[in-house]
């Protein structure tokens, strides 16, 4: 359900994005683990092609056995790398901010997304190739656009069911 919801939101905004050629190869190899848990690739979901279409980078979905992990790589500052809360909010989820959480040793911005009895904890952070970590996409964007943080970058979003 979650991949379909993300794809629907992205499909609605795609006509507004500039068309960009995207190679199918990631900028660097995808991580093989997160927080000591092995990442296994998930098969393509219904909306994965739409999610990656015109995105100026690379997108992949994984699982660590308890949560879904969506990884997005970008090489330059872009508004096309948007915060997960925008997607979930546009899809009709009620969003409740949560305390920041540690992911792979660094703080990540988190929120609860609730809709039709489903409750999800969603956390995000953006990591630079040089080791800087931003707890959310908006914080990353201004560092990236002013070149205070050099790319490429890896945005990490974790999604897990709660309650």
Neighbours of 54 (CB within 10 A): 17
Q: Are 54 and 14 in contact (CB under 8 A)?
A: yes
pLDDT the model gives residue 82:
87
pLDDT the model gives residue 25:
56
DSSP assignment of the chain, as one string? -HHHHHHHHHHHHGGGSPP----SS-SSPPPSEETTEEPEEPPPPTTHHHHHTT-SEEEEEEE-SSSEEEEEEESS--TTS--HHHHHHHTT-EEEEEEEEEETTEEEEEEEEEETTEEEEEEEEEEETTS-EESSHHHHHHHHHTTSS-S-EEEEEEEEE--
pLDDT the model gives residue 49:
75
Mean pLDDT by 10 residues, the chain (163 residues): 43 38 61 95 78 84 95 92 90 95 94 97 93 92 82 94 90
pLDDT the model gives residue 69:
96
> Would you list the domain boundaries of the chain?
2-161
pLDDT the model gives residue 4:
41
pLDDT the model gives residue 26:
67
């Amino acid at each position: 359900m979650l991949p379909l919801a993300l794809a629907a939101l992205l499909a609605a905004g795609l006509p507004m994005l500039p068309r960009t050629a995207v190679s199918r190869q990631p900028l660097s190899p995808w991580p093989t683990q997160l927080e000591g848990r092995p990442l296994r690739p998930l098969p393509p979901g219904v909306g994965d092609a739409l999610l990656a279409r015109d995105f100026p980078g690379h997108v992949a979905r994984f699982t660590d056995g308890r949560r879904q992990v969506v990884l997005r790589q970008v090489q330059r500052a872009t508004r096309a790398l948007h915060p997960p809360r925008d997607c979930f909010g546009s899809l009709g989820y009620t969003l409740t901010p949560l305390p920041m959480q540690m992911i792979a040793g660094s703080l990540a911005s988190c929120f609860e997304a609730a809709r039709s009895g489903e409750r999800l904890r969603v956390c995000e952070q953006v990591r630079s190739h040089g080791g800087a970590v931003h707890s959310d996409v908006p914080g990353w964007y201004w560092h990236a656009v002013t070149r205070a943080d050099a790319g490429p970058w890896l945005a990490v979003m974790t999604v897990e069911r709660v309650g």
